[in-house]
Homo-oligomer: A and B are copies of this chain.
């Protein structure tokens, strides 16, 4: 696990402001639960609007919070004058996400100047266990 130096000391309010402007995330019911240089967690409690044909959370929702956590993790390391956009992502669905609380963790693997590569994982908390429901890689470009 690498420790990263932020290139902008105000990384935390910056991530919070971006998160607050993302209406889709608040609309889903997401909250920002951890922000550190190179790592961001986003949590989402189940509600029935997230549902899928089989009574579990739609894969697009799980992917959305993974992507958002990754993009926010990249933002913690971006210089103050640059914004970030996601250019591509790849995810594998390990298990269906059910009615537990989801926690997405975005973690920077390589903080390049132009491209940052992030790992994204989503865990579902079911009673006393955490189940790994998604893993993926997200590329974010600074612009």
Complexed CA–CA distance, A87 and B22 (Å): 27
Ordered by A's residue number, 17 sampled pairs between the chains whose C-beta atoms are within 8 Å are A23-B49, A58-B64, A60-B60, A60-B61, A60-B64, A86-B93, A87-B92, A88-B91, A88-B93, A92-B110, A92-B139, A109-B132, A109-B135, A114-B114, A135-B137, A136-B137, A139-B139
Pairwise interchain contact B117-A94, C-beta atoms closer than 8 A: yes
Pairwise interchain contact A141-B115, C-beta atoms closer than 8 A: yes
Bin the interface of chain A by size.
Answer: 35 or more
Q: How far is the CB of A5 from chain B (nearest CB, A)?
A: 18
Most B CB within 10 A of own CB, among A49, A93, A141: A93
Contacts of A82 in B (CB 8 A): none
Q: How far is the CB of A95 from chain B (nearest CB, A)?
A: 8
